A = this chain, B = another copy of it.
């Protein structure tokens, strides 16, 4: 079979599985998820052995040590995978819930009910634990899932998917509810994202190049997260000590993640007082500062920022500084250069807070708090399949509800349209 026919057949199997998943109760699905967790736990040695091949190949292919580390499965990483699955068992099942119900003047009863999306395709890169995380969230919400992981993690992904599938089957997981694309053929992705009628949603997870490639090829809906170019704006009305704490936390607590800040904007009226203190603090923390002309006049060792710096997601100890004449200027800058992810204002002035909340066009907007809280767990969703910087269907952290849709169930007693 060629890759086109193979993928179509895989899609057809997923559609059948999606129908079967509709019939499983919340209790039944939880038993399946527990069995998956047990199986992963029982197969630690098999998983590590499969992973060893990937790691060796990655090393001999000269991958960076950071990438090799992302690939690596250790006992504790496998345990946290198991723990993650068990945590999802404990979450409330959103499927079947009545979102709303009303009765029309003609007596028709309309129920808007939460249902699974159907078949979800997840395309991801190196970290093999994504295989387990995403498959489990899809099954919890009664969606069939087609997984496509990175080439460099193929042995690990196969071992994890096999554990989930075989563990799940012991408690009635429908055949083909979880399918992993086992070829590393690049054409498989193109076929996958063009299977209208077989795939209802594609969620790409990875670097910008992956996301762009998927978006350009896709004919089925895509929910995506390009990047996190998060800003902190320190208003003239800010509590400066709070601003300093939050700036350091949002930049340094974990610089390699999407909700860390990449830019800081300081109101010109406090810049002469605040910026030198802040710059010294960041120098101690080994954060490289780049900045506009105005910031460099206040702190001479700030490096000049280029135009591309304003768009950049460094994921590293680099921070770009801008001085703004007003909150409005800061908001305009954020809307122009940001990525619609997470942006924060530090201000005591409530009018300025409101302007920022209303006009910054991002998934999460913060007043007097660190952007690092944009996260399914921190928001209290219990789980997260990703963070959307789109505005359609899901925005910000995507938990269980974001993996559902609805249908209208209309109950009549013979009504016809006049």
B-binding residues in A (CB < 8 A): 19, 22-23, 102, 104, 108, 110, 117-118, 196, 200-201, 215-216, 219, 221-223, 239, 242, 245-246, 249-250, 253, 335, 357-359, 361-370, 372-374, 378-380, 390-393, 395-396, 405-417
| Identical chains in the assembly | 2
The smallest beta-carbon distance between A285 and chain B, in angstroms, is 14
Task: List residues of chain B with CB within 8 A of the CB of A108.
Answer: 369, 373
Question: Could you name 29 residue pairs across A and B whose Cβ atoms are closer than 8 Å?
Answer: A19-B335, A22-B358, A104-B378, A117-B392, A200-B391, A201-B392, A215-B219, A221-B390, A242-B414, A245-B416, A249-B417, A357-B409, A362-B407, A363-B407, A364-B407, A365-B410, A366-B411, A366-B412, A367-B411, A368-B412, A368-B413, A368-B414, A369-B410, A369-B412, A369-B413, A378-B417, A391-B405, A392-B393, A393-B393
| Nearest B residue to A409, CB-CB | B357
A19-B359, A390-B221, A392-B223 known; A367-B110 Cβ under 8 A? no
The smallest beta-carbon distance between A204 and chain B, in angstroms, is 13
Task: List residues of chain B with CB within 8 A of the CB of A253.
Answer: 416-417
A20 vs B55: C-alpha distance when bound (angstroms): 53
Question: Chain A at the B interface: mostly helix, strand, loop or mixed?
Answer: mixed
Partner of A370, one of B215, B242, B393, B415: B415
A255 vs B324: C-alpha distance when bound (angstroms): 61
Are A363 and B408 interface neighbours, CB within 8 A? yes
Are B416 and A249 interface neighbours, CB within 8 A? yes
Task: List residues of chain B with CB within 8 A of the CB of A392.
Answer: 117, 200-201, 221, 223, 392-393, 405
Task: List residues of chain B with CB within 8 A of the CB of A364.
Answer: 407-408, 410
Task: List residues of chain B with CB within 8 A of the CB of A410.
Answer: 364-367, 369, 373
**Most chain B Cβ neighbours within 10 Å, of A19, A23, A222, A369:** A369
Task: List residues of chain B with CB within 8 A of the CB of A222.
Answer: 221
A309 vs B22: C-alpha distance when bound (angstroms): 28
The smallest beta-carbon distance between A413 and chain B, in angstroms, is 6
| Nearest B residue to A221, CB-CB | B392
**Most chain B Cβ neighbours within 10 Å, of A102, A390, A392:** A392
A216 vs B22: C-alpha distance when bound (angstroms): 30
A365 vs B115: C-alpha distance when bound (angstroms): 13
A153 vs B255: C-alpha distance when bound (angstroms): 54
Task: List residues of chain B with CB within 8 A of the CB of A369.
Answer: 108, 410-416
A118 vs B391: C-alpha distance when bound (angstroms): 9
The smallest beta-carbon distance between A333 and chain B, in angstroms, is 13
Are A417 and B110 interface neighbours, CB within 8 A? no
Task: List residues of chain B with CB within 8 A of the CB of A216.
Answer: 219
**Most chain B Cβ neighbours within 10 Å, of A246, A369, A393, A410:** A410
A366 vs B412: C-alpha distance when bound (angstroms): 7
Task: List residues of chain B with CB within 8 A of the CB of A406.
Answer: 395
A104-B378, A373-B108, A378-B104 known; A405-B395 Cβ under 8 A? yes
Kindly list 18 other residue pairs between chains A and B, CB separation below 8 angstroms, not including A104-B379, A365-B407, A369-B410: A104-B380, A200-B391, A201-B391, A201-B392, A221-B221, A221-B390, A239-B414, A245-B416, A253-B417, A366-B411, A367-B410, A368-B414, A373-B410, A373-B415, A374-B408, A392-B393, A392-B405, A393-B393
Task: List residues of chain B with CB within 8 A of the CB of A357.
Answer: 409
